[in-house]
Chains A and B, each alone.
Chain A
């Protein structure tokens, strides 16, 4: 109950200030731009292919449109999520409103989960707002519904990981800007870890690649839901939520 009350307040807070609306607008404009330019590119390619005697004819919508679209959405979220999560704890601490939560009969776990779910609810709203792109695709094309569903699941998991990291950095500082910068830095690091794969010797590189979000996103975006990718995202999220929990618990000892 308390979790839902806190989550609802967090969600409402996004819409009570321009921040939420601006983030939503920016997200839709950028994804819209990507979607439109990809359609253009797809049309050009398929037109060229139809003249190509060696071409296989039809281009696969899933491979040429859906996958890159969701990959791009993931990159946009990488930039956007730290801005959405930076205030979760930092603002509450600076304005002292956190004291309301800390002196209410609410457990630390409820506070952390409530704030996390509130931020995730906002991200879900953003993702749902991309629904008209997929509706267009379904109407005019014939994408694989399974791929679309797994793409949404993967982007949501990715987003969940971003939010978990951002929330932890927000719990460490009273400054939203510091939370933003550190959160973004950490996310970027987890994003590009797989690049290290090529430059390290065996073993370490594999581990680094496993820790990278990119590696797992590629699989999911193809519509391949492997348990190892799900386990990766879920344990990633669980770890950062746990770390945030420990951090918030420590407020009582400072």
Chain B
């Protein structure tokens, strides 16, 4: 559905992104991860046609975004980091306006979009008077009003309080359950774990990893545990058949690499030594940090 090949954007001598390539299959939900300034927004803006690339090609639905801009834009919904709102309009007027620009004249489509993001009751209110969480929803309504095949969301939960964050995440989950292809940029890793099938990690303008979450974290074969007595626990675990490696990560945390899902065995073996916690898969956080900082 989305193919990006060798995308490069230069500002003078600086490269905002360099040789970024990845692809997203139809219906996939891909997390776009990276520190601030890594080039996530630049990539997304090129994909949505609001920015031109210096080199490389981006295709959505097989069409080049720079040469078939209008056709591509009809199939893409985009929520920028700052929602592009006209705050003096009412919610309904604004979404209807966005719909008209995207070729939607049916008022029922506007109602559907409002209902999907939970704004049906506030349609008559002026956007300026809404809370940030609600504004974010208006931004989302604008992105989905024309039923796009591809949704590109730039940090949809940034700047929201925890309750609003949970709401938006639930909303995204609903959208992800549909058949839309979604690219979601964020630096909230929990969001990626909750929503995405796959991640593309970008740092300093380059793609440093692109994989499924399971593959990145070694699936269930990586186990992290926390014990009270590190020494005896390590000995017991090393003796366990199938355990390839046991590392002490400090503060009682042990990282194990096994040749299969051995969580039950590991738990039994570690229990006598004061097992406090056990988690499968190395945290996405660790992977993210090692990938993005290793490049610095």
Contact residues of A with B, CB < 8 Å?
1-2, 5-6, 9, 12-13, 16-17, 95-107, 251-253
**Most chain B beta-carbon neighbours within 10 Å: one of A5, A6, A105:** A105
Contact check, B86 vs A97: say whether CB atoms are below 8 A apart: yes
Q: Write out the residue numbers on chain A whose beta carbons fall within 8 Å of the beta carbon of B100.
A: 1-2, 5
CB pair A9–B50 under 8 Å, yes or no, is: no
Q: Are A100 and B88 in contact (CB under 8 A)?
A: no
Q: How far is the CB of A231 from chain B (nearest CB, A)?
A: 34
Q: Is the interface of B mostly helix, strand, loop or mixed?
A: loop
Map CB proximity to A onto B78-108 as digits: 1 under 8 Å, 0 otherwise.
1010111111110001000110111100000
Q: B78, B82, B86, B87: which contacts A103 (Cβ < 8 A)?
A: B78
Identify the interface centre among A2, A17, A100: most chain B CB within 10 Å of its CB.
A100
In the complex, chain B residues whose CB is within 8 Å of the CB of A13: 86, 88-89
Main secondary structure of the interface of A (DSSP, over half): helix
A253 touching B102, Cβ below 8 Å:
no
| B103 in contact with A105 (CB, 8 Å) | yes
Instruction: Give per-residue flags for B53-72: 1 if the beta carbon is below 8 A from chain A beta carbons, else 0.
Output: 00000000000000001110
11 A-B pairs with CB atoms under 8 Å apart are A6-B101, A13-B88, A97-B84, A97-B85, A99-B78, A100-B84, A103-B48, A103-B78, A104-B73, A104-B101, A105-B71
Interface status of B186 (Cβ within 8 A of chain A): no
Given A103-B73, A104-B73, A105-B70, residue A95 in contact with residue B85 (CB < 8 A): yes
A245 to chain B, nearest CB (A): 16
B49 at the interface (CB under 8 A from A): yes
**Assuming the A-B contacts A104-B102, A105-B71, A252-B51, are A96 and B86 also in contact, with contact meaning beta carbons closer than 8 angstroms in the complex?**
no
**Contact (Cβ within 8 A) A105 B51:** no
Please indicate which of the listed interface residues A1, A16, A17 has the most CB atoms of chain B within 10 Å of its own CB. Answer: A16
For the complex, is B187 an interface residue (Cβ under 8 Å from A)?
Answer: no
Determine the residue in chain A with the shortest Cβ distance to B105: A1
Residue of A nearest to B51 (CB): A252
How close is A2's CB to chain B, nearest CB, in angstroms? 6
**Chain A residues positioned under 8 Å from B83 (CB to CB):** 96
Question: Is B76 an interface residue when CB atoms closer than 8 A count as contact?
Answer: yes
Task: Identify B88's interface contact among A2, A16, A103, A105, CB under 8 A.
Answer: A16
B142 proximity list for chain A (CB < 8 A) = 100
Q: Which of B49, B82, B88 contacts A102 (CB 8 A)?
A: B49
In the complex, the answer to whether B50 meets A252 with C-beta atoms within 8 Å is yes
Kindly count the residue-residue contacts between A and B in the assembled complex, taking CB atoms under 8 Å apart: 72
| Complex Cα spacing A105 to B100, Å | 10
Q: Does B112 contact A (CB under 8 A)?
A: no
Known: A2-B101, A105-B71. A99 touches B86 (CB 8 A): no
Q: Is B52 an interface residue (CB 8 A)?
A: yes
Whole-angstrom distance between the Cβ of B68 and the nearest chain A Cβ: 10
A100 contact from B51, B52, B76, B98, Cβ within 8 A:
B98
**Nearest CB in chain B: distance from A55 CB, A:** 56
Q: Which residues of A contact B93 (CB under 8 A)?
A: 12
Q: How far is the CA of A1 from the CA of B97 in the complex (A)?
A: 12
Residue from A17, A100, A102, A104 with most neighbouring chain B CB atoms (10 Å):
A104
Question: What is the minimal beta-carbon distance from B156 to any residue of chain A, in angstroms?
Answer: 15
Which residues in A have their C-beta under 8 angstroms from that of B80? 96, 99, 103
Q: Are B52 and A253 in contact (CB under 8 A)?
A: yes
- Residue from B52, B74, B84, B87 in contact with A105 in the complex, judged by beta carbons closer than 8 Å: B74
CB within 8 Å of A: which B127-163 residues: 142
Measured CA separation A50–B285 after assembly (Å) = 95
B88 touches A5 (CB 8 A): no
Whole-angstrom CA separation of A107 from B93 in the bound complex: 22
- A99 CA to B49 CA, complexed, in Å: 10
14 additional contacts (CB under 8 A) given A5-B100, A103-B50? A6-B101, A9-B89, A95-B82, A100-B86, A101-B101, A103-B48, A104-B73, A105-B69, A105-B70, A105-B74, A105-B103, A106-B101, A252-B49, A253-B51
**Contact with A107, one of B48, B70, B76, B85 (Cβ below 8 angstroms):** B70
A9-B86 contact given A100-B101, A104-B102, A106-B101, CB 8 Å threshold: yes
The answer for the CA separation of A101 and B98 in the assembled complex, in Å, is 8
Tell me which residues across on chain B come within 8 A of A97, comparing CB atoms.
84-86
Across the interface, A95 reaches (CB within 8 A) one of B51, B87, B102, namely B87
Do residues A103 and B76 form an inter-chain contact, with CB atoms below 8 A? yes
With a cutoff of 8 Å between Cβ atoms, the chain A residues found around residue B49 in the complex are 102-103, 252
Q: Cα distance A100–B97 when bound, in Å?
A: 10
Instruction: Tell me the bound Cα distance from A102 to B102 in angstroms.
Output: 11
Complex formed: what's the CA distance from A178 to B24 in Å? 43
The CA-CA distance from A102 to B50 in the complex, in Å, is 5
* Nearest chain B CB to A23 CB, angstrom units: 15
| A16 CA to B93 CA, complexed, in Å | 12
